[in-house]
Amino acid sequence: MRGGVRLAVDVGEVRIGVARSDPSGTLAVPLETIRRGPGDLDRIAALAAESEAVEVVVGLPVSLSGKEGPAASKVRAFASDLARRLSPLPVRLVDERLSTVGAHQAFRARGLSTRQTRGRVDQAAAAIILQSALDAERSTGAPPGAVVSAPEAGERKRTGNGKDRQ
């Protein structure tokens, strides 16, 4: 198992949940919820720098059958932009199937309503994504998912919300 702090992000239409691991890569914990939009990449970059992260994991939404839909395309575009912003820090896409569902279920089991957890469910989902990635690496010995290649400098990427990012 590689050492070092890792961050994970759960990218939504409105919010981005962020989680971080401990330096040994054993445990993932929720960290922060970021409003999606201008400055979101900068905030993730700041969190990565503050944490001295060795990589950032981005949850890729796929269906139960493993197919990618429109949401996955938007997340791929975001991950590409993030990879360019964080370069040379590696960004990896990992399967996030049912992470948000799991986060909602955990909060409901504690007796909390959706309204009470709105600001925290995204970071809880990011923690589930990261814990799954850490566990997969521990069991297989290989980093999970796929490394995202950053677009060339100056190349514009279309984001999921229809706006260009530079």
Residue 116 in domain: yes
pLDDT the model gives residue 158? 43
Query: pLDDT tens digit string along 86-119?
Result: 999 999 999 876 555 554 455 456 565 555 556 6
CA 99, CA 82: separation in Å to the nearest integer? 21
Residue 84 in domain: yes
Average pLDDT over residues 117-134: 86
Residue 110 — left, alpha, or beta (φ > 0 → left; ψ -120 to 50 → alpha)? alpha
Residue 61 in domain: yes
Nearest to 58 by CA among 97, 102, 93: 93
Residue 49 in domain: yes
Checking if the pLDDT of 139 tops 50, the result is yes
Checking if the pLDDT of 160 tops 50, the result is no
Question: For position 116, which CATH number holds?
Answer: 3.30.420.140
Query: pLDDT tens digit string along 3-53?
Result: 899 999 999 999 999 999 999 999 999 999 999 999 999 999 999 999 999
Checking if the pLDDT of 157 tops 80, the result is no
Checking if the pLDDT of 138 tops 80, the result is yes
Query: Among the listed ranges 40-49, 80-89, 140-149, which one has the minimum average pLDDT value?
Result: 140-149
pLDDT the model gives residue 166? 43
Residue 166 in domain: no
Residue 155 in domain: no
Phi, psi dihedrals of residue 117, rounded to the nearest 5°:
-110, 5
Residue 159 in domain: no
Q: Cβ neighbours of residue 20 under 8 Å, at least 6 residues apart?
A: 5, 6, 7, 8, 28, 29, 31, 47, 51, 53, 130
Q: Which domain holds residue 110?
A: 6-145
Residue 163 in domain: no
Walk across the sheet containing 15-21 and list its strands: 28-35, 15-21, 6-11, 55-60, 91-95, 146-147
pLDDT the model gives residue 98? 52
- DSSP state letter for 62: B
Q: Domain total for the chain?
A: 1
pLDDT the model gives residue 29? 97
Count how many Cα atoms sit within 13 Å of the Cα of residue 60 in the half-sphere of its side chain.
23
CA 21, CA 45: separation in Å to the nearest integer? 16
Buried b (16+ CB within 10 A) or exposed e, 67-79: eeeebbebbbbbb
